[in-house]
Amino acid sequence: MRKSIILILVLCAAVSIQAQKVLNATESGYVSEAKSQLMSALSEMDMTDNHRLSIIRRSAVTLKEYGQPPMWPDGDIPLQKIMDDQFNQCRNEIAEMSDWVLKLENKSLSQKTKLINSMQIEVLEHQVQLLIPGSTPVQLSSDAISTVFGINIAEGAGGGKSQDAKDLANRFRKLAETKALVEHFNILIDHHRESLRLIDADREMLRVKVPVWKIAFANAYNGAFAFKGYEGATEARETPVFNSNSIVGTWKFGYQQTGYFYWTFTPGGEFIFEDKMNDGDTERGKYSVSGNALRLSGPVSQCEKTEGVYIFEINDNDLEFKRIEDACMSRRFTLNHVWTRK
């Protein structure tokens, strides 16, 4: 009798294990799309509340139907982290530019020119990064550059990014000659202070909205039903692709005067980030490559649970990211450069 009971229990366990559903490629695609859309709804700033709620509810239902657990993030959602990062960055840049003004006010024209000549100016897609050796980089929008300095980098009217950077440096030199450079930087600081006020107001509004979105997700998930036999289903797993002839290796960005950032992609799917520009710590995370799409998670200390997708292009020894979808702002800003193979 006892042996029969044990046999029945073993058979039941075997049937239970065998009955666990594994989603096929199409079903896994539906689940992956639901997760991706949910992450977009919790990350993108330019989205109406109605559209955002619609995506949140639809994603919750899809996850439930295919037997997946609820995927609402623990703690703050990515959009909150993005806005917090923006607030802190804006506040730090105000302090940095205020320090620049103090330095410029008491310098002669030759000293100002020397400071401008040492400045690293990098024109990105819709912004400009300014770096004075020994200081923290400051990022300015193309609108701010156009409004305050009259340089239209958005349309590349000056003949490309390199020429735009030269035009902006020349504009700084001319303003220094007329003693108006400090005045223009003060205007930039005022722009930043207004941006800081608006970002903080948006953060407060978001704190009210997030609990509403979370409840909407929970109600939609709890109100839906899993398809028959799909409870506890697992997704089909694809083997990550690591192309040893493309992105594997060490890439650097920076300047000799300020130091470099280093990204190393190992053959086994780990990346290592070294901040030699600011004497920062070494960070590690995970990556995979499929075609020209790079997927990142980590570093562990910042964005371990947030996946970013980067469409990259390698020309000679230069690595550039053409399209970026990443809620992790610090990772996105760090990678949004042209990297050179070490």
Domain ranges of the chain: 86-196, 249-341
Buried b / exposed e along 100-137 (16+ C-beta atoms within 10 A): beeebeeeeeeebeebbeebbbbbeeebbbbbbeeeeb
> Helix, strand, coil % (nearest 5) of the chain?
50, 20, 30
Q: What mean pLDDT do residues 9-13 have? A: 42
Mean pLDDT for the stretch of residues 221-248: 76
β strands within the chain, DSSP E: 120-123, 127-131, 138-141, 249-255, 259-265, 270-275, 282-290, 293-297, 307-315, 318-325, 339-341
Q: What is the DSSP letter of 282?
A: E
- Overall average pLDDT of the 272-301 stretch: 81
> What is residue 159's predicted lDDT score, i.e. its pLDDT?
53
Q: What is the pTM of this model?
A: 0.62
List, for residues 93-113, the tens digit of each pLDDT value: 898 889 888 888 888 888 888
pLDDT, tens only, 189-226: 998 899 899 999 999 999 999 999 999 999 999 999 99
| Whether residue 267 has a cis bond before it, omega within 30° of 0 | no
Helix axes 78-105, 181-223, angle to 10 degrees: 170
Longest dimension (CA), the chain: 101
CATH top-level class of 249-341: mainly beta
Instruction: Look at residue 325 in the predicted model and tell me its pLDDT.
Output: 75
DSSP 316: T
Q: Assess whether pLDDT exceeds 60 at residue 14.
A: no
The mean per-residue pLDDT over the stretch 59-79 comes to 90
Percent of the chain with pLDDT over 70: 84
- Which tens digit of pLDDT belongs to each residue from 112-139? 888 888 887 877 666 787 877 667 778 7
- The token pair that represents 208 in the structure block: 């009210």
Helix, coil or strand: residue 257: coil
Q: Which DSSP state fits 67?
A: T
By three-state DSSP, how is residue 315 classified? Answer: strand
Alpha-carbon distance of 58 to 54, in angstroms, equals 6
DSSP string over 140-178: EEHHHHHHHH---TTTTTTTSHHHHHHHHHHHHHHHHHT
- Dihedral sign, Cα of residue 33, residue 39, residue 45, residue 51: positive
What is the rounded distance in angstroms from the CA atom of residue 41 to the CA atom of residue 79?
A: 9
